[in-house]
A and B are shown apart, each in its own frame.
Chain A
Amino acid sequence: MVTGSGAGTWRKALAEDGWSRHLTTLDGWRKFTTAEARPPELPDGRQWEVMTEADRELYDEYRLDYHTRLAAAATSTLRQVVTTGRRLTLLNRHAVSARRGMILSGAAGTGKTTAVTQFGKTHEAIDRLRHPGIGDRIPVIYVTAPPAATPRMLAVEFARFLGLPLTARANITDVIEAVCGVAVDARVSVVCVDEIHNLQLATRSGAEVSDTLKYFSERIPATFVYAGIDVEREGLFSGTRGSQIAGRFTLIAALPFPLAAEWQGLVATMEDALRLHRHQPGTLAGLHEYLHRRTGGMIGSLSHLIRGAAIEAILDGSEQVTRKLLSTITLDHAAETGPAGNARKHR
């Protein structure tokens, strides 16, 4: 039997759906940082069988929702980002200028955004512990660099995150003034800029955006964390501006996972997080070599694959993830056509 309170929890969780789409607003970010992944409790077999139609629908819906956003696994990259980030924020605490930063670079799907947002979440949690009950603090700003950005667009991204009202009349000076003023007053100590590869230093507007970011980093006493795809090859470190960035930022490479113990552990962690009724524990752990071949060691693809399979298992009622089910899930293009994907076809 499903208790009323259990159904209430699911309803509430479903009503709060959609926060992840607004991670670049303060509200969405706060919800993200305070959200706890609540794994649904699996009722035992009998309870599950006697569940009413409506309850079962709600229950399945909640489990679907849960599986679409499985908790982030603590990978080595994530740990490195969090420890380096912590060290930098402490180092920068009393720096008046030329604060040090961190750039996370790697191929698509290696978990950069996850690592950066998890670092932000950790930092926000630490800040909240240090300053309990102070609601005005905004310890972390998280923005994404818009494609073909101009300095104004970047400034507007910051303003939008903070919730400053924007109209077409706002000129860039006003927006930057307001952003910097509020950021200083709100004690911002970490600024994460994602999709930094959208910045092309070779173009004029890209260089101007880079200068704007630099200006922000001078005005806002915070540690700046950039994440982007292969930024060292995209020219972020070349030229005069690039060499200054190279001189101030620690580069952390997010790489595909090799087929090793960590990969196995990762697969096992994700399998543990599954909430399926007929799933045989250890199935996926046994399939880790197959999974590595399919995904090319990309955590993004792995997550997609396992979550996709889990949702499929709920939808078709089989309630277990098997190799057969996994093979029906179509992966992203990179994984399907990469060396690993080709190897699969040749077999």
Chain B
Amino acid sequence: MPASTGDGPAGQDRDQPRPLPFRPRPAAGETTASYVRRLARANHLRPGYLRRYLQDPGNPGQVRLDWLAILADRDQAAVERALTAPHPGPRLRPAARKQGKIALFTEIRQDAEQAGLSVRALADRHGVHRRTVRQALESPTPAPRRPGPPRASRLDPYKSVIDDILRTDAASRPRDRRTARDIHHLLVTEHGATRISYSTVSNYVAPRRPFLPPAAGIPSEPPRPYDHGMADEAGGHVPVTRQQWDEHMSAWFERYARPRWAAAEPYWGMWCIPQSWLPVLPADPAGADAVELGCGTAYVSAWLARRGARPVGIDVSARQLATARRLQGEFGLRFPLVHGDAERIPLASTCADLVISEYGASLWCDPYRWIPEAARLLRPGGRLVFMAESTLARMCLPEKGPATERLARDLFGLHQVVRRGSSGTTYQQFTLPHGEWIRLMARCGLVVEDLIEVQVPPGAANNDFPEYPDEWVQRWPAEEAWFARRR
């Protein structure tokens, strides 16, 4: 019968090591530190802890091999033999091998000159093939070795995927390019490359990146011929807009992109008003061909794609589009993104059931140019939906400072609005008086069905657009959404 069992003296246990529960075998030539590390890991101990436990009190740098042998439950001599065996050194380097061969050639040549031996005799004496002897007699320097076949790599099946990614990214600014870590993550999650390590990917990507030009069809940065086309009779606002977005505003707006892509319910405008309160998207966009004019980071297109529509995003800023592409990869949503101008859309006529713009073309493009283009794209019965700052808000916004209760601008002739950015740049935005909007759309075959003057719901917050104070938006609409249908 077992006797009383609670009598293991703790102090004694601490002094006397006992075999660990898991005891991996020491590998020949392994360093002691490495073996202690492996032992610790196998037993869920911190390596440093086990190292300190095994520390020789007289010689703190040394591990007590007798204790290590007990922990490993092995013969001490065997442990010592394994851990102190000389490491099988690195293979002879090519340079050393070459030196050896030069010496061999010299000896063969000396023997041939002094003893006048035959090729066969020389081959026997030096223990080499007669071919080698003939080579030595021909030239004192050995011919360079034939390069072997290229080494296979686990990365081989994924190299084309990586190259595609690098080519796509070559069109983006450096800061928008996917890093080796991003690419590794992508390979693991989307291509099932579980046995590829990060360093393998990194070693491939780093030297390869500079050599991959952008793929055909994806404009590189900056697309000069395109700029030429844009500098037209409209007063040249397109290149200004483009520059403003690429250089100043996209950096600011990038931070909004991801949460909007991730949002389950769409939300709109400066006060992030949810779709349930402000139904900008049609009730059932599934199956519709949609074009987003001035898509920016393309979150509206993403919402449409997720609801079963087939969106195409158009934007003038390559940098915004790069963000959109990155998010496409991240969210696994793919739809075409076109780098272009909403005033001259590179798409065929009557290709869309829905043309939509939230603070895109609706704000940044000349209505007299983009409304006809939108009408051209729409099939009969197709809808045009666009949202921007209200005409009233435009009139109440002075050159500087927040919106006032006074009308600061004329309504008659309201068209271009020059704004000054925080970085001192000036740029142009557009709007029209309501009657002019209706007349313009009617001329293009668009029938206005609704105009929502957006009332900000109680509790909605706007931290980023201080030009519209809360008291103002309680009384007047700062934004409006137009809904029209193609005849």
Q: Which residues of A contact B (CB under 8 A)?
A: 20-27, 32, 69-70, 72, 113-114, 117, 136, 138, 142, 144, 146-147, 156, 160, 162-170, 174, 177-178, 180-182, 185-186, 194-195, 303
Contact = CB atoms under 8 A, between A and B. Distances in A.
A240 B56 CA distance: 48
B41 to A, nearest CB: 10
Nearest to B48: A169
Nearest to B5: A23
Nearest to A153: B10
A68 B14 CA distance: 31
Contacts of B20: 163-165
Given A20-B2, A114-B1, A174-B45, A167 B21 contact: no
A147 B7 CA distance: 11
Contacts, number: 88
A25 B63 CA distance: 25
Q: Which of B19, B44, B46, B53 counts the most A-chain CB atoms under 10 A from its CB?
A: B44
Contact of A138 (B1, B21, B44, B71): B21
Contact of A163 (B10, B19, B52): B19
A117 B5 CA distance: 11
B439 interface: no
Interface residues of B, number: 25
Contacts of B152: none
Contact of B13 (A70, A117, A160): A160
Interface in B338-371: none
Contact of A113 (B2, B8, B10, B19): B2
Contacts of B53: 165, 167
Given A21-B7, A25-B8, A114-B1, A181 B14 contact: no
A145 to B, nearest CB: 8
B22 A146 contact: no
Nearest to A71: B1
Given A25-B18, A69-B1, A165-B20, A195 B6 contact: yes
21 contacts: A21-B3, A23-B2, A26-B18, A26-B21, A27-B18, A113-B2, A113-B5, A114-B2, A136-B21, A144-B5, A160-B8, A160-B13, A163-B18, A164-B21, A165-B50, A167-B49, A169-B52, A174-B45, A182-B22, A185-B22, A303-B1
A177 B20 CA distance: 15
Contacts of B214: none
B17 interface: yes
Nearest to A167: B53
A303 B3 CA distance: 12
A22 B2 contact: no
B199 interface: no
A106 B7 CA distance: 22
Given A20-B2, A163-B20, A174-B49, 8 more contacts: A113-B2, A114-B2, A117-B2, A138-B21, A144-B5, A163-B19, A169-B49, A174-B46
A24 B5 contact: yes
B43 A182 contact: yes
B446 to A, nearest CB: 61
Contacts of B1: 69-70, 72, 114, 303
